Amino acid sequence: MEHFGFWSLLPPILAIVLALITKEVISSLLVGILSGLLIYTGGNPLQALVELFSLITTKIGDNAYMVVFLSLLGALVCVVTMSGGSRSYGDWASRKIKKRSSAMLATSGLGLLIFIDDYFNCLTVGTVMRPITDKHLISRAKLAYVIDATAAPICAIAPISSFAAYAISVLADTGATQNGMTTFLQSIPFNLYAILTIIMVIALSLCQLDFGPMERFEKARREGSEITNVPAAQAQDELDGIVPSEKGRIWDLVLPIASLILFTVASMLWTGGFGTVVDGEKVGLMAAFANTDSNASLTYGAFGALIVALLLYLPRRLMTFKEFFGGITTGFKSMLSAITIMVLAWSIGGVCTEYLLTGQYVGELVRSSHFPLQLFPAVIFAVASGLAFATGTSWGTFAMLIPISVEISRYSAPELIPIIFAAILAGAVYGDHCSPISDTTILSSAGAGCNHIDHVSTQLPYATLAAGCCFVGFVVAGFTANALLTLVVAVALLLLSLLFLHRRTMKKERAETEAASR
């Protein structure tokens, strides 16, 4: 089957442009999906509709565990809120956290601690930290950025995560390396976008620096208002009517979340076959994580955490049996909007990868390019960024680009394989980070209670600044293959850029103060 050339890029481009113009995601995604199916069917609308229902049904089936996980996580968030655990933690944190910078750092720190899975990270951090950031007049857009900037980036450099497990499995399938985990570990210093984004979040938290559209949102929030085009988030609207129990304690929040992490890790080891014998060899820790079924493991973990919550809350009469299961229903409803958008995002990704073969088209462009091999890491970073932005999936970008790029490096410059691998991871995370049809971007908006398009528009300049520094870093990496020099150049460029922006912001604030005093 042949790809459709440039037309294979039209559906994601159309969906993204419409989403940015109309600020309405669901209809934009549907238009993008239908346009792709019309291209595929040669303009036959009836056949396109048949393919649409078939595709959506297939995607729901293929991602059933993730749909169930999100529903269970929404239920867990709801019952934890009902227990008063979140309120109690918020009261405690409010007494301990006295400054905006501390609230930002605490949010970033929690995001960096939850490295098992980016989906889990997005929803958990937002739920726990939102009351605290609200108190310190941090905009929902800024909270959404911090959540998004500490979700996929930390997972992309954590060897024990669903993110790393998938990337390693794709790399292992190429047969280009003897040990996928070893190559992943070698790639970590070159995964510039993940490292620079984390540094940037910490620097922004300390300096209280804002630029681009985010500056307007932060200023409005400090003045007691919140710029938004629609209600903050349907997920949060569902939860705002809940009256938390007055008897709840911090442990009512901590124990369910800790059990979620514990059960998820245990499930990942179990689904990965830890301790079993395969081909005469016992499956070790790293091999189990590399072969795990992360979606199933997350579902098992969320179900186990709900059981813990049931046993923790009902005997202490924080809620009745009826109220507990009513909370589960409310939690399911709260995730309906996010799940709808995610199903459509999966579907438009399916149109690109399965119907129009966008990856094959991009791969041919890469193979036919005559760039010097030393520039290949920077080029593949840019290609991965564009592909992930267009399709809204970092994992899909791995599947499309890792086999192609590693195969090119394998015979041309095998010493560049860890750098190429890192460039794909970095570019995929950046593109996924910025894409309005990305599942983690959608979940970050939902977790923060932020309008989705507001999150996309305010995050884009921040992410692009880090990506620009990464591009320069990958040029250095291609010519030197030196991790330390690459990191020094990229980090120095980022810090100099932030220093310039900080001075410009301070100068602007002084000018506004002087104008107001006249």
Q: Tens digits of per-residue pLDDT, 15-50?
A: 767 766 775 667 887 888 899 999 999 889 999 999
Predicted confidence at residue 49, as pLDDT, reads 92
Angstrom distance (rounded) from CA 90 to CA 85:
8
Tell me the per-residue pLDDT of 189-207, one tens digit each, with 9 for 90 and over. Answer: 999 999 999 999 988 888 7
Residue 130 carries which side chain, given as an amino acid letter? R
Predicted confidence at residue 404, as pLDDT, reads 66
Q: What mean pLDDT do residues 121-129 have?
A: 76
pLDDT band at 103 (very low <50, low <70, confident <90, very high): confident
Highest mean pLDDT among 162-171, 176-185, 295-304: 295-304
The H-assigned helical ranges of 45-161 are 45-62, 64-83, 85-96, 100-113, 118-135, 140-149, 152-156
CB 55 within 8 A of CB 48: no
pLDDT band at 232 (very low <50, low <70, confident <90, very high): very low
Angstrom distance (rounded) from CA 362 to CA 448:
34
3-state secondary structure of 269: helix
Angstrom distance (rounded) from CA 405 to CA 393:
18
Query: For the ranges 299-313, 356-370, 385-399, which has the lowest average pLDDT?
Result: 356-370
Predicted confidence at residue 231, as pLDDT, reads 38
Q: What mean pLDDT do residues 142-150 have?
A: 89
Q: What mean pLDDT do residues 132-156 have?
A: 86
Angstrom distance (rounded) from CA 420 to CA 410:
10
Whether pLDDT at 306 is above 90? yes
Whether pLDDT at 494 is above 90? yes
Predicted confidence at residue 160, as pLDDT, reads 65
Phi, psi angles (nearest 5°) of residue 372:
-60, 140
> Which value, to the nearest 10 degrees, does the dihedral of the CA atoms of residues 392, 397, 399, 402 take?
-170
Angstrom distance (rounded) from CA 151 to CA 137:
22
Predicted confidence at residue 236, as pLDDT, reads 47
pLDDT band at 11 (very low <50, low <70, confident <90, very high): confident
Whether pLDDT at 162 is above 70? no
The pLDDT mean for the chain works out to 81
The H-assigned helical ranges of 276-393 are 285-290, 294-313, 321-334, 336-350, 358-368, 376-391
Angstrom distance (rounded) from CA 417 to CA 49:
42
Whether pLDDT at 481 is above 80? yes
pLDDT band at 229 (very low <50, low <70, confident <90, very high): very low
Residue 268 carries which side chain, given as an amino acid letter? M
Whether pLDDT at 319 is above 60? yes
pLDDT band at 169 (very low <50, low <70, confident <90, very high): low
Whether pLDDT at 492 is above 90? yes
Whether pLDDT at 228 is above 60? no
Percent of the chain residues past pLDDT 70, beyond the cut: 82
Phi, psi angles (nearest 5°) of residue 23:
60, 30
Highest mean pLDDT among 70-84, 343-357, 362-376: 70-84
Q: Is the dihedral of CA 186, 189, 193, 197 positive or negative?
A: positive
Between 2 and 466, whose confidence is greater? 466
pLDDT band at 312 (very low <50, low <70, confident <90, very high): very high
**H helix or E strand, kind and range, residue 281:** strand 281-282
Whether pLDDT at 235 is above 50? no
Predicted confidence at residue 516, as pLDDT, reads 66
User: What angle separates helix 64-83 from helix 45-62, to the nearest 10 degrees?
Assistant: 60
Angstrom distance (rounded) from CA 62 to CA 357:
19
> Which value, to the nearest 10 degrees, does the dihedral of the CA atoms of residues 119, 122, 123, 129 take?
160
Predicted confidence at residue 172, as pLDDT, reads 67
Predicted confidence at residue 371, as pLDDT, reads 62
Bridge partners, residue 282, by sequence: 277
Tell me the per-residue pLDDT of 246-261, one tens digit each, with 9 for 90 and over. Answer: 888 888 888 988 888 8
Between 178 and 142, whose confidence is greater? 142
Angstrom distance (rounded) from CA 167 to CA 118:
14
Distances (CA, A) of 284 to 90, 170, 187, 292: 40, 19, 22, 12
Angstrom distance (rounded) from CA 140 to CA 134:
8
Bridge partners, residue 277, by sequence: 282
Q: What mean pLDDT do residues 376-397 have?
A: 82
Between 429 and 298, whose confidence is greater? 429
Highest mean pLDDT among 34-48, 60-74, 167-181: 34-48
Residue 227 carries which side chain, given as an amino acid letter? I
Q: What mean pLDDT do residues 400-425 have?
A: 76
Burial 331-344 (b: 16+ CB within 10 A, else e): bbbbbebbbebbbb
Nearest to 211 by CA among 122, 145, 132, 130: 145
Q: What mean pLDDT do residues 290-319 have?
A: 87
In sequence order, which residues have a C-beta less than 8 Å from that of residue 180 and are 6 or more positions away? 168, 169, 171, 172, 290
In sequence order, which residues have a C-beta less than 8 Å from that of residue 153 and are 6 or more positions away? 193, 194, 195, 197, 198, 429, 433
Percent of the chain residues past pLDDT 90, beyond the cut: 18
